[in-house]
Amino acid sequence: MIKSTKSVGIIGTGSFVPEKVLTNNDLEKLVDTSDEWIRKRTGISERHVLDEDVPNYTMGIEAAKRALEDAGVEPEEIDLIIVSTETPDYMSPSMACIIQGAIGAVNAAAFDINAACTGFIYSLSVAQQFIANGVYKHALVIGCEGLSKIVDWKDRNTCILFGDASGAVVLGVVDEGYGILDLFLGSNGAEGMKITIPNLYISEEEKKKRPNGKFNSLWMDGKEVFKFAVKAMSTATMHVLDNLNLDISELDFIFPHQANTRIIDGAIKKLGITDDKIHYIINKYGNISSASIPVAMDEAQRKGKLKKGDNMLLVAFGGGLTWGSMAIKWNK
């Protein structure tokens, strides 16, 4: 269990998805695929994508504004901004700094984290430490991903999976016994090349994986990632539950990273739970990487599904390879 002087929890949520929708039928015109094939293997019906000339950080700005409004916190009251992203518009400045300037959070330190699809949990864990230790009072954590810009639209194995979105939360001090209860982070860099997005360097071996010539595109070994994901999600879940002496039946909600319904189904089967505790969004948004958990949480909260005192678990896996989980007692 986390040992700190202050209890830290989520006091506001917000999200944003672009208006433009790309359906499975639309993809049939781009690659050799079908609506039935995609639905059966991924659970995805459609995804939202940004226009090519719109920067990804614009999604993060909007999600941040909505989270601040929900929390009743002014931009000037934010001490720290962390953005989780594997699709930054610039190497420098960071997406966090761009968003800080755009929303007027003039007192906030700002930086990005890249732990791929696990990045939101990694970012929450960092922000939690600053507030629990009394260094900062409020933190804004954002998952912002524009994956449509780094997929190869001629590769049917990957282009059918991803969408664009941003989700944000405001963290602050909450009543004792509420908020973030425990967390777990893991990584295995030795297996990291199973999911790659080259940037300033690409090996000849990596070039061969991209026969269409788009060398900065996302590539992954789907079969190996599937096996890793199911195991990682179930292991990370049990790690925090065991630490808290909490039975899985005592969880009210699980917010997993949503990459593929078959991965989620495999994990919950391994854990021996039913899917009624999961708020699914993958069917309409696709895999939105580190934005998937905060977008799902925001949607569930605004639909009135979350109640004060609910036990929830966040769990994710991603490139790196990385994985992590976090137990929260909802305080709103």
pLDDT digits (tens, 9 = 90+) for 79-128: 999 999 999 999 999 999 999 999 999 999 999 999 999 999 999 999 99
Query: Which residues does 169 contact at the CB level (< 8 Å), separation at least 6?
Result: 10, 12, 13, 14, 67, 124, 140, 141, 294, 297, 298
Q: Catalytic: 138?
A: no
Banded pLDDT at 268 (limits 50, 70, 90) = confident
pLDDT averaged over every residue in the chain = 95
Question: For residue 3, what pLDDT is reported?
Answer: 59
Q: Where are the alpha helices (DSSP H) in 158-291?
A: 204-208, 222-244, 261-271, 282-285
Q: Does the pLDDT of residue 254 top 70, yes or no?
A: yes
Question: For residues 180 and 2, is the Cβ–Cβ distance under 8 A?
Answer: yes
Q: Does the pLDDT of residue 2 top 90, yes or no?
A: no
Which residue out of 97, 117, 144, 159 is catalytically annotated? 117
Q: Catalytic: 159?
A: no
Question: For residue 331, what pLDDT is reported?
Answer: 94
Banded pLDDT at 275 (limits 50, 70, 90) = confident
Question: For residue 273, what pLDDT is reported?
Answer: 84
Q: CA distances (Å), 247 to each of 66, 242, 269, 306, in order? A: 34, 8, 16, 19
Question: What is this structure's pTM?
Answer: 0.95
Question: For residue 312, what pLDDT is reported?
Answer: 97
228-250 pLDDT, tens digit each = 999 999 999 999 999 999 999 99
Banded pLDDT at 30 (limits 50, 70, 90) = very high
Question: For residues 314 and 108, is the Cβ–Cβ distance under 8 A?
Answer: no
Which residue out of 257, 260, 279, 331 is catalytically annotated? 257
Question: For residue 55, what pLDDT is reported?
Answer: 98
Domains 8-177 and 180-329 share a fold: yes
Residue range 24-37: average pLDDT? Answer: 94
φ/ψ of residue 268, rounded to 5: -70, -30
Residue range 209-217: average pLDDT? Answer: 92
Q: Does the pLDDT of residue 1 top 70, yes or no?
A: no
Q: Where are the domains of the chain?
A: 8-177, 180-329
The tokens describing 289, both together, are: 């990487």
Find, among 226, 59, 86, the residue nearest to 151 by Cα: 86
Between 3.30.470.20, 3.40.47.10, 3.40.640.10, 2.30.42.10, what CATH number should domain 180-329 receive?
3.40.47.10
Banded pLDDT at 187 (limits 50, 70, 90) = very high
What is the number of residues in the chain? 332
- pLDDT above 90 covers a percentage of the chain that reads 91
Q: Catalytic: 279?
A: no
In the block, residue with structure tokens 């282009």:
159
Which residue out of 24, 260, 287, 331 is catalytically annotated? 287
Domain 8-177 in CATH 3.40.190.10: no
